Amino acid sequence: MHGVPAQAPVGRAAEKPLLRFITCGSVDDGKSTLIGRLLYDAGLAPDDLIEALEKDSKKHGTQGEALDFALLVDGLAAEREQGITIDVAYRYFATEKRKFIVADTPGHEQYTRNMATGASTAELAVLLIDARRGVLSQTRRHAVIVSMLGVRHVALAINKMDLVDYDEATFRRIEAEFRDFARHLRFLSIEAFPLVAKDGDNLVHQSAHMPWREGLPLLAYLESVEVDRGALVQPFRFPVQWVNRPSHDFRGFSGFVCGGNVRRGDIVRILPIGRDTTIARVVGGGGDLDCAVAGQSVTLTLAEEIDVSRGDMLASPASPAKVGDRLKARLLWLVREPLVCNKSYLLKLAARTVPAAVKSVTARVEIETGLAAPLTEEGETLAFNAIGEAEIELDQPIVCDRYIENRETGGFILIDRVTNETVAVGLVTEAEEAAKSASYLEASYSSMEGLPPPSVEPVPTRRTSFLKSLSWRPLGSLLTFAIVFGFTRDLALSLAITATEAVAKVGLYYLHERAWTRKGATAAENGAPPPDDAGL
């Protein structure tokens, strides 16, 4: 069943759980050093890598005769020469309890786009702060970005405690300041650690210099923290990346399961055309599978021959994705040239790319507070590294979800059509269904199948309801007059009763309309859709 956790496929059940996390924070807060020292102290760095580190430390190190653990992660020549992180460095390691993929990201403002790339797949953020400098603007910016991109757990690593004499009051002050700032950022948990990354204090082992610190060291926390596995219980989502046709006997659709699960025999909906069909086979790298769950790449075949292309989506018919050509989104602007409203960009979401234009920017996030505020100047948009709310119009409808519901099908990028540069990262907050576009697609599909086009039901309104009522009320009043006159043979009495009955009908109709109007308003306040009955 879609959206219900399926039993893990054979060969996956016994695997250790995987945690993807990111190290972020302002420049020179010790992100690369933390990862290098953690790997070294945990015995997770191979001997040949340690030998290379010893040589590199003498040539490029910044710690004198001691090992420069940042060099375990910073591999680019420019990074070693300048002593900074430029690109995202991914490292895989595993302990007895868990597997990890860590993205070590740069702290410089000009490389914020690389930091956002690392955060886009992370489940937890290790946010570093220099104990001497406290919470900086770049610290706040990175906190806002990881929250925006769906990271819900933060390990607040207050580093370089040796430079403030391991002072607990300094640690508590910085922790309180960050928690106060982050109270609007939707983090589910924030755990603070006082560290000296270069010396290994509170990384793998408890620090002898900070006995006032109670709780697990950082690695033990990473091994035990519980993160949300919501993708397994989300509605089924499968963006088609490739039509797999190796021979005339096989036609499948390859892609990545972005939510829920799928089995042979399941009914799925093809979007944007809205056609339902049945899954015939689920094919993995080693052959046919009983099912596929979120996080797997598979090929699906259908029971019917239906035209499905790259960029289409197979989804749960019980909870399908939205089809829209107007989006409300939160944007992170990545380039120095400011956003230009009504300029044509390319919007890429999952496997589909369509022309799009930002019609307006309605608000901008203030980095100092983490809250969105309306723009004050006419024509103002988004500048470099700014985050804001925008309304976007697409040339063609696209299939998507809200980002808070599904990160894979709710996140997109904007691309400059001239330079081919990625200019923004975007998250869908609301999609307006393109009813006309959907009807057009359904009509086109029906014509190809030789079927009549889908009918569109008129939407009832109170005006149309009243006009319809006029067609039967005079007839009802005439019938009432005829019945009363037939029994009484009294013209005056018959007219009086008929008039009273007509007035009563009008009054009851008015009260009926008022009652349904109030019911609709109450339902809207409670988040429920208003009633469809127009009060006939």
Structure tokens at 221: 């926390």
DSSP element (H, E) containing 103: strand 99-104
Residue ranges for the known binding site are: 25-32, 104-108, 159-162
Q: Three-state secondary structure along 362-409?
A: EEEEECCCCEEEECCCCCCCCCCCCEEEEEEEEEEEEEECCCCCCHHH
What average pLDDT does the segment 241-253 reach?
93
Could you give the CA distance from residue 238 to residue 263 in angstroms, rounded to a whole number? Answer: 13
Among 240, 245, 281, smallest CA distance to 262 is for 281
Could you give the CA distance from residue 341 to residue 361 in angstroms, rounded to a whole number? Answer: 8
Q: Where does the chain hold its CATH 3.40.50.300 domain(s)? A: 18-224
pLDDT per position as a tens digit, 467-514: 555 555 677 777 777 887 777 778 888 788 878 877 777 667 767 666
Helix H segments across 30-99?
A: 31-41, 47-60, 77-82
| Gyration radius of the chain over CA positions | 31
- What pLDDT shows up at residue 473? 66
Strand partners, 331: 388, 426
Could you give the CA distance from residue 152 to residue 228 in angstroms, rounded to a whole number? Answer: 8
- What pLDDT shows up at residue 259? 92
Least confident range of 49-53, 225-229, 415-419, 452-456: 452-456
Q: Which burial class, exposed, middle or buried, applies to 461 when counting CB atoms under 10 A from its CB (0-12, 13-18, 19+)?
A: exposed
Strand partners, 181: none
Among 319, 344, 295, smallest CA distance to 402 is for 319
Structure tokens at 501: 């009955």
Structure tokens at 227: 């993160």
Contacts of 486 (CB under 8 A, 6+ apart): none
CB 311 within 8 Å of CB 323: no
Q: Where does the chain hold its CATH 2.40.30.10 domain(s)? A: 237-315, 322-438
- How many H-runs (helices) and E-runs (strands) does the chain carry? 12, 22
Q: Class for domain 237-315, per CATH?
A: mainly beta
Could you give the CA distance from residue 105 to residue 454 in angstroms, rounded to a whole number? Answer: 51
Q: Please give the CATH topology (third level) of the domain spanning 18-224.
A: Rossmann fold (3.40.50)
Structure tokens at 151: 């990271």
Could you give the CA distance from residue 441 to residue 275 in angstroms, rounded to a whole number? Answer: 10
Q: Please give the CATH topology (third level) of the domain spanning 322-438.
A: Elongation Factor Tu (Ef-tu); domain 3 (2.40.30)
pLDDT per position as a tens digit, 426-476: 999 999 875 544 444 444 444 334 444 444 445 455 555 555 555 556 777
- What pLDDT shows up at residue 334? 93
Task: List, edge to edge, every strand of the sheet that includes 124-130.
Answer: 89-94, 99-104, 18-25, 124-130, 153-159, 189-194
Position 10 pLDDT exceeds 90: no
What average pLDDT does the segment 226-243 reach?
85
Residue ranges for the known binding site for GTP are: 25-32, 104-108, 159-162
Whose structure tokens read 């009320």? 473
What average pLDDT does the segment 134-159 reach?
94
Strand partners, 448: none
- Binned at pLDDT 50, 70 and 90, residue 37 comes out as confident
